[in-house]
Amino acid sequence: MLFNSLEFLLFFVIVTISFFSLPHKYRWFLLLTASCFFYMFFVPIYILILAGTIVIDYFAGIFIEKADNKKKRFYLILSLITNIGVLVIFKYYNFFIDNINNAQEIISFSYLKILLPIGLSFHTFQAMSYTIEVYRGNQKAEHHFGIYALYVMFYPQLVAGPIERPQNILHQFYEIQKPSYNNFVIGLSQMIRGFFKKVVVADLLAGYVDNIFNNYQTNTGFTLIFAAWMFMIQIYCDFSGYSDIAIGAARIMGFKLMVNFKLPLFSKTLSEFWTRWHISLSSWLRDYLFYPIAVNKRDWGKWALVYATLITFMISGLWHGAGWNFILFGLLHGIILSGEILLGIKTSFFTKSFIKRITGVFITFNILAFIQILFRAKDIYQAIAIWKSIFTLKYFFNLKINDTGIFASMLFCVAVLFSIEYFVFRNHSIESIEKKRPNWLFALNLIFIILILLFGVSNGEQFIYFQF
C-alpha cells in the first residue's frame, strides 16, 4: 500500500481511530494485524520470509541474553547469517551469478526468477540492530513475541524506514498512548509536509528527469546537468517525504520515530551531508560497521578512518542495490569523504561567512548530483555515457523544456519547498513552531494542501527507496 494513495488515507484513519478506541492491552495486536495487512498489500507471500526471520531473531535475542559469552556470539552470528542470508538470496544472488557467468563461459548458472521483497534491506537492518544491541547488553531481550514482531513490522516504517533501534521504539509499545492534541497537530503537519514533498515536488520532477535520462543519447551538456540536479532534489523529496509521512503517522498515534533527514541539501561538506541524510542508515553503519573497523585498526592513525570509511561506504553502496553502479556510488562517496579526512576539510570552515556557506553548499550539491547519476543509471556503462554526454562541449549550452508550464510548476514548487525549509525549518522544528507560533503551522499546512491540490501528481510513482 503506497502512502500516496487514497487506500492508505482510509487505512490510516481506520487504524488510528481503532487504536485509540481499544484498551491498551489489545493495541499491539491491532497494530501488528494492520502492519501485516499493509505489507501484504504488495506481495502477500513474502510475509512468510519476514515471519521466518522474526521468529529466528526473537529466539536469538532471548538465547543471547541467557547464554554465556561464547554461546552469545554463536547466537548472534546465527541471527546475522539468517538475516544477511535472506538479503543475499533475494537481493544479491542474481548479481553474483551475473558476475560469475560473465567471468567464465564454462558453466552457465541460472538466475532466480523472484521479485525483491519490498523494503527488505530496511527491516533486515532493523532486525539486526536488535540482536546486536542485545548482544552488546544495551537492550534487554524482548519476551513478548507480538511486541517483538511489531518492532520489526510497525507499518509506518516497515518498508522504507527510518531504521529504528530497539532502545528507541520497543518501550514505546508498552506505554499507554492517549489522543494528544500536540501529537495530532505535529504528526499531521509532518505528514502534510511529506505528502507535499512526494506528490508535488518528487513526482513533478520525476516526469522531467525520466524524460531526460531515458533519452540520454539525445540530450547533452547543461540539460543533463540540470536533470542531475533535479534528480538529486527528486530523490531527497521522495525519500524524506516518505520518512515525514511515516514519522507523522506514528506521531499521531503517540509514537516518536527517529529523525531521518535534517535538511541535507544545505550541507556544506560531504561529511556534513552524511550526518543529515538517511540518518537512521548512516548511524546504523557508523555504530555497527565504521566504529568497529576503525577501532580495530586504530594503530593506523588517520588511515584507519580512511580504511573504515571506504569499507563502510562500499557496503552502503551495496545496501542500496545489487549492481556495480551502486558499489561505485558508495566508493566515490567513500573516496571524497576520505579526501576530506586527509585534507582536514572541516564543515566549520564553510560556516564563517555567507559566501563560504553558499560555496560549500554549491560544491557539495554538485558533487552529490554528479555521483547520483550512478544511482539513476541502469548500469555503470549508462552512467559513463551520461557523464560523457554532459561534457560534449559542442552542444553544451542547451536546456530541454518539454512543457513550459510543467517546467515552471516544477521550479516554482522546488523554490517554495526550499524557501520554507531554509527560512522556517532550518532554525525551528515543527514542535517549536507549534509551541510558539501555532498559526504559522496552520498557515503552512494550508499552503501545502493548496499546493498539493494545484500541483500534486495523483497517479505518481511508488517511492524510489521501496526497491531497497
Partner 1 sequence: MTTKIFKYLAILIVTIYIADRVIYFCIDKMQAKTLTGESGGKINAYLNLKKTVALLIMGPSSSTYQIDPTAFKVDTYNIGHSNTEDAFQAGLLSIIIENNKKPKNIMLHILPDSYLSTDTTSTVINDGILKLKFFYNKNKLVTYYINELGIKERIKFSMHLSRYNNRVINTLKNYITTKRNGPVLNGFEPLPVEERDSIVATINYNDSKLKNTNNKANEIIHMAKMKYLKDFVNLCSANNIKLILFTLPSYIQVKNGVKDDLATQNINTFSKENNITYFDFRKGSLGGLINRAIYWKDGYHLNAMGAVIESNFVSSEVSSFLAN
Question: Which cell is 360 given?
Answer: 560549500
Shortest CB 450 distance to partner 1, Å: 6
Shortest CB 240 distance to partner 1, Å: 22
Binding characters for partner 1, 204-243, by CB under 8 A (x = yes): x------------xx-------------------------
Binding characters for partner 1, 126-165, by CB under 8 A (x = yes): ----------------------------------------
Interacting residue with partner 1 among 293, 361, 406, 416 (CB under 8 A):
406
User: Using the rule CB under 8 A, is 412 a contact of partner 1?
Assistant: yes
Rank residues 135 and 196 by Cβ distance to partner 1 and give the closer one: 196
Using CB under 8 A as the binding rule, the residues of this chain from 279 to 318 that contact partner 1 are: none
Q: Which of these ranges, 22-30, 127-135, 145-153, 181-189, lies near partner 1 under the rule CB under 8 A?
A: 181-189
Rank residues 113 and 178 by Cβ distance to partner 1 and give the closer one: 178
Q: Which of these ranges, 52-60, 94-102, 179-187, 374-382, lies near partner 1 under the rule CB under 8 A?
A: 179-187
# chain residues binding partner 1, by CB under 8 A: 30
Q: Can you give the chain as a three-state secondary structure string?
A: CCCCCHHHHHHHHHHHHHHHHCCHHHHHHHHHHHHHHHHHCCCHHHHHHHHHHHHHHHHHHHHHHHCCHHHHHHHHHHHHHHHHHHHHHHHHHHHHHHHHHHHCCCCCCCCCCCCCCCCHHHHHHHHHHHHHHHHHCCCCCCCCHHHHHHHHHCHHHCCCCCCCCHHHHHHHHCCCCCCCHHHHHHHHHHHHHHHHHHHHHHHHHHHHHHHHHHCHHHCCHHHHHHHHHHHHHHHHHHHHHHHHHHHHHHHHCCCCCCCCCCCHHHCCCHHHHHHHCCHHHHHHHHHHHHHHHHHHCHHHCHHHHHHHHHHHHHHHHHHHCCCHHHHHHHHHHHHHHHHHHHHCCCHHHHHCCHHHHHHHHHHHHHHHHHHHHHHHCCCHHHHHHHHHHHCCHHHCCCCCCCCHHHHHHHHHHHHHHHHHHHHHHCCCCHHHHHHHCHHHHHHHHHHHHHHHHHHCCCCCCCCHHHHC
User: Using the rule CB under 8 A, is 440 a contact of partner 1?
Assistant: no
- The Cα 235–Cα 228 span in angstroms is 11
Rank residues 340 and 461 by Cβ distance to partner 1 and give the closer one: 461
User: Using the rule CB under 8 A, is 415 a contact of partner 1?
Assistant: no
Rank residues 85 and 179 by Cβ distance to partner 1 and give the closer one: 179
Binding characters for partner 1, 69-98, by CB under 8 A (x = yes): ------------------------------
Rank residues 412 and 466 by Cβ distance to partner 1 and give the closer one: 412
Shortest CB 408 distance to partner 1, Å: 4
Rank residues 178 and 352 by Cβ distance to partner 1 and give the closer one: 178
Shortest CB 439 distance to partner 1, Å: 11
Binding characters for partner 1, 342-381, by CB under 8 A (x = yes): ----------------------------------------
Query: What b/e string do you get for 25-53 counting C-beta neighbours within 10 Å, with b at 16 or more?
Result: eebbeebbebbbebbebbeeebbebbeeb
Rank residues 4 and 364 by Cβ distance to partner 1 and give the closer one: 4
Using CB under 8 A as the binding rule, the residues of this chain from 442 to 461 that contact partner 1 are: 442, 445-446, 449-450, 453-459
Rank residues 455 and 463 by Cβ distance to partner 1 and give the closer one: 455
**Active-site amino acid positions:** 320
Positions touching partner 1 (CB under 8 A) are 6, 178-181, 184-185, 204, 217-218, 395, 403-406, 408-409, 412, 442, 445-446, 449-450, 453-459
